[in-house]
Chains A and B, each alone.
Chain A
């Protein structure tokens, strides 16, 4: 299992790094999906297969497919990759790199000074424990999450609608779903 973890971690890091340097959105998306799948594998090694399944079903399966859907609706041509290349200049990496290094320093310091706690709890929490926690102490959280999702639903519905009303002739630019 250790080996699996380190392999998945390596895949996750590399694919994630590739996400942010890609010129083509779909390729970036594929790397992102790969990153998420490796994260799911890591979850399994961390004793959380339930969440790993959710990660794949919801993150990789539903959220990412939304991205694919939107990309297909936008149907960006080949010129967008050139535009990306133009936007990505070497100098832009400096600031984020400094920030990242600062954070790295923080993390290393933290890990250095914090006492080493080794060993894990004997039993990993399964779906049953998660469910009981969700509908026990976290019930309010579940309710809030459902309200949030409802708000997201209403919000995206509204946004999607108003486009058509304001720009009737451009509404067809999205293509597919109307015919």
Chain B
């Protein structure tokens, strides 16, 4: 691969830049979420550390790193340690294909969308193995729930994106963004957007679909036995997941970096943060459904809807030639 030295350097800068930005966003979200929740619930949230409590993530980080790294003696040690790493690694790897701006993306794969789906499907292992390795019945039940939920929702997450692929005619994320120059795909693919949003919430097992870790019934679900930095990795992984899904919603349905006046990257971050806000708003407002309701919603409503969306889209594209 004959690349010139400046190109290689530019590439490395992008790689590490994205990594740094994502990690700091994830950390920053700890503060953002708590502040926003406080705002919507008419209370303050963290406001002691630094101005507006903005240094709260730093304080949390110190706390987490300082805690004892403890593995329960009954746990399956290697798997127990491996599990939290998986989610962070897979989500960070998934960011590789996200186009932040026309020239800023780690990898410009022509099967970028499939790459994202592949990595998001691997993220299940983190939860499942973590729960299993803990050798704790709450954790195991949480893990079972998580894997069933994530397999189910992965199916139509993929299906909902196929409409976008059909319209753009490519799996490449950059090409998908370029295809939205005239019209954001949220208009022709409104159902695809709704399905993807719901599936994204379920994939990141955020409220209201956080049944794998439902505190009220399962203590803390799959990460009951985790503490210290391993717990921190799950936590960071969740925020990274939210960011990823938001970024992808922006990419797939809201024209990615496209926008007037402002630089492309700014538009991209504006859209992404908007959807992060939507995620937090969902957490603040919606109640948690029962587990069987969740699965039923997935298979009996979302899947038919996704299929119908696919058929109609395909039919219209065929009819329009």
Contacts and interface: CB of A to CB of B under 8 A. Distances in A.
Interface stretch (B8-16, B141-149, B258-266, B276-284): B141-149
Contact of B109 (A49, A57, A177): A49
Contact of A61 (B79, B122, B132, B143): B122
Interface string B130-173: 01110000001101110110110010001000000000000100
Contacts of A71: 132
A18 interface: no
Interface stretch (B57-65, B111-119, B174-182): B111-119
Nearest to B128: A68
Most chain B beta-carbon neighbours within 10 Å: one of A33, A60, A69, A71: A69
A69 B82 CA distance: 18
B110 A126 contact: yes
B124 A65 contact: yes
Size class of B's contact patch? 20 to 34
A148 to B, nearest CB: 18
Contacts of B129: 26, 30, 68
A83 to B, nearest CB: 17
Given A53-B111, A54-B114, A175 B122 contact: no
Contact of A24 (B76, B115, B148, B158): B76
A62 interface: yes
B117 to A, nearest CB: 5
- Counting chain A residues whose Cβ lies within 8 A of the other chain, the interface size class is 20 to 34
B140 A27 contact: no
A75 B122 contact: no
B254 interface: no
B121 interface: yes
A5 interface: no
Interface string A82-110: 00000000000000000000000000000
A171 interface: no
B115 A65 contact: no
Contacts of B76: 24, 26
A72 B143 contact: yes
Contacts of A33: 125
Contacts of A168: none
Given A49-B109, A53-B111, A68-B125, A26 B79 contact: yes
A72 B122 contact: no
B82 A57 contact: no
B78 interface: yes
Contacts of A176: 140-141, 144-145, 148
Contacts of B114: 49-50, 53-54, 57
Nearest to B171: A127
Interface string A51-83: 011101100111001101101110100000000
A30 B144 contact: no
A73 B137 CA distance: 11
B118 A177 contact: no
Nearest to B109: A49
Given A26-B79, A62-B154, A69-B144, A56 B122 contact: yes
A175 B121 contact: no
A56 B141 contact: no
Contacts of A65: 121, 124-125, 128, 147, 150-151
Given A30-B82, A33-B125, A61-B124, A49 B118 contact: no
A176 B139 CA distance: 11
Contact of B128 (A49, A72, A127): A72
Nearest to B290: A179
A177 B150 CA distance: 14
A68 B117 CA distance: 19
Interface of A: 24, 26-27, 30, 33, 40, 49-50, 52-54, 56-57, 60-62, 65-66, 68-69, 71-73, 75, 126-127, 175-177, 179
Q: Name the 6 nearest CB pairs between A and B, nearest first.
A: A61-B121, A53-B114, A56-B118, A176-B144, A57-B118, A49-B111
20 contacts: A49-B110, A53-B117, A54-B114, A56-B121, A57-B114, A57-B121, A57-B158, A62-B151, A62-B154, A65-B150, A68-B125, A68-B147, A69-B147, A69-B151, A71-B132, A75-B140, A175-B140, A175-B144, A176-B141, A179-B141
Given A65-B121, A175-B144, 19 more contacts: A24-B76, A26-B79, A27-B78, A33-B125, A40-B118, A49-B114, A50-B111, A61-B121, A61-B124, A65-B128, A68-B129, A68-B147, A69-B128, A69-B147, A126-B110, A127-B111, A175-B140, A177-B144, A177-B148
